[in-house]
Amino acid sequence: MRQLTTHPILDLSYRSVGHTLVARWRGQPRSDEDYMTSYRQVLQAAVQLNCRFWLLDTRRCANNCPRLPKWLLQEFCPEVIASFRASEQVYGAYLVFPSHAPYYTDTVLPLLAHPANTTYRAAAFVEEGLTTTWIRNQQ
């Protein structure tokens, strides 16, 4: 695994085996701007690597994805679409604590499944092995 960057709240690395970008939040964003910036850093690294398969480990940042799910759909997903060819799917496998899984499966993932979101596909898991398997199955 190749370390790409370290940010105060985010570690980014790349797994060449499996062609997967791994983003691990190291802590809670201090503001909505920190939250959005961290996602844009993931996207920037993904574009540089031409990597459409992302493991997003939010376990140390409980309110990461749930913090602004509408922002993810309305602003971030269009940025993803603009950054990759429209026909290419981008896959985000969220690694979450079991206690946070219901919020992802009941609120975040259905919102991201909106028909307007034609590029970014997401799933949530409580075990890293399952995230890796899901990503591998999408390739």
Give the chain's domains with CATH numbers.
2-138 (3.30.750.24)
pTM for the model = 0.87
Which amino acid, residue 129?
A: G
Q: Tell me which residue has tokens 């980014």.
A: 12
From first to last of its 139 residues, the chain has per-residue pLDDT tens of 566 666 678 899 999 988 999 999 887 777 888 888 888 999 999 999 999 999 999 888 765 555 677 788 788 888 888 898 766 889 999 999 888 888 888 888 887 787 877 788 889 999 999 999 999 999 9
Handedness of CA 63, 32, 94, 10 (dihedral sign): negative
pLDDT at 81: 84
DSSP alpha helices (H): ranges in the chain? 32-49, 64-67, 69-71, 77-83, 101-103, 109-112, 128-138
pLDDT at 14: 94
Burial of 34 (0-12, 13-18, 19+ CB in 10 A): middle
d(CA 25, CA 11): 6
| Cβ atoms of residues 58 and 42 within 8 Å | no
